[in-house]
Each structure stands twice: as C-alpha cells, then as structure tokens.
C-alpha cells in the first residue's frame, strides 16, 4: 500500500491533485487506514494514472467521473468507453502535433541565435532593430 505522498511522486502529480481526484471519486474503492489516511494499492494507482492521462488529453473532471462510472457498470458500457477513448486519443494526437510545431519553431529560433552568436548573420531577432518592412515579413513568417 502507498501513501498520498508516495503516489504523487510515483505518478508525477501533486499531493493536492491526488487528494482532489480521490475526493471527486475518480478512484473507486479507495482504502483508508485507521486514521482515515488514503491508502493506494496497484488498482488505485491504475485509476489515478488513467485519470491523469484523460485530464491531460483535455477531459474535464466531470467527464472523467462519468467514464469511471461507465467502467464500474461493466461490459455493457464497453462501446461507450471505446468512443470516449477514441476522442481522447484524437485530442492527444492533436496536442502532440501542436507540440511538434512549437518545438520546430523554437529549434529554428535557437539555430538563428546560434548563427548570430557565431557572427554568420546580423542580429535579426531584436525587434528594436527591425524596420517596418522587416516587421511585416516577421508577422507573415509566424
């Protein structure tokens, strides 16, 4: 059995988030010790891990709770759960594509700065030095 602190570290969540998710009943059958402290077994950790990933893909806490409830209903809800996860997978893929675009943008800027520092090109990254024409070109590039 794991404590809130241990689970938070294991799943890279804050202790507050772990408590919040359990308060919102995203972890069915949560165990408690004699002092009413939350205790987590492997199944509890799996519920939290799922909630973390669903939240990161854009689901609201209420929607995650609805998903948990569907899971608890059993096999009759498999197709509903499947549709929910398809949508969340699509959201995650879209987030990944956006992250790739941000990373590419930053990589281009880093390379540009490297060229400036190596005196291969003038400092074209400082807006103070841009002419009106250059500003219009920069806006078009971004």
Q: Which tokens go with 131?
A: 């002419």
* Per-residue pLDDT reduced to its tens digit, 3-44: 999 999 999 999 999 999 999 999 998 999 999 999 999 999
Residue 22 · residue 38 · CB < 8 Å: yes
Predicted confidence at residue 142, as pLDDT, reads: 63
Predicted confidence at residue 134, as pLDDT, reads: 62
Query: Where along the chain do its domains lie?
Result: 1-73, 78-142
Strand partners, 38: 32
Predicted confidence at residue 104, as pLDDT, reads: 96
Residue 63 to residue 69: CA distance in whole angstroms: 10
Within 10 Å of residue 96's Cβ, how many Cβ atoms? 10
Q: What CATH code is assigned to 1-73?
A: 1.10.1660.10
What is the pTM assigned to this prediction? 0.73
- Which parts of the chain sit beneath pLDDT 50? none
């Amino acid at each position: 059995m794991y404590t809130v602190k241990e689970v938070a570290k294991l799943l890279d969540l804050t202790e507050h988030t772990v408590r919040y998710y359990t308060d919102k009943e995203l972890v069915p059958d949560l165990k408690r010790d004699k002092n009413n402290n939350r205790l987590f077994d492997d199944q509890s950790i799996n519920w939290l891990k799922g909630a973390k990933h669903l939240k990161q893909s854009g689901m609201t806490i209420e929607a995650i709770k609805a998903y948990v409830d569907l899971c608890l209903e059993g096999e009759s809800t498999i197709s509903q759960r499947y549709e929910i996860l398809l949508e969340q997978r699509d959201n995650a893929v879209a987030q990944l594509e956006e992250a790739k675009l941000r990373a590419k943008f930053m990589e281009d800027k880093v390379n540009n700065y490297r060229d400036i520092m190596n005196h291969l090109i003038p400092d074209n990254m400082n807006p103070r030095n841009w002419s009106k024409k250059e500003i219009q070109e920069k806006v078009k590039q971004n």
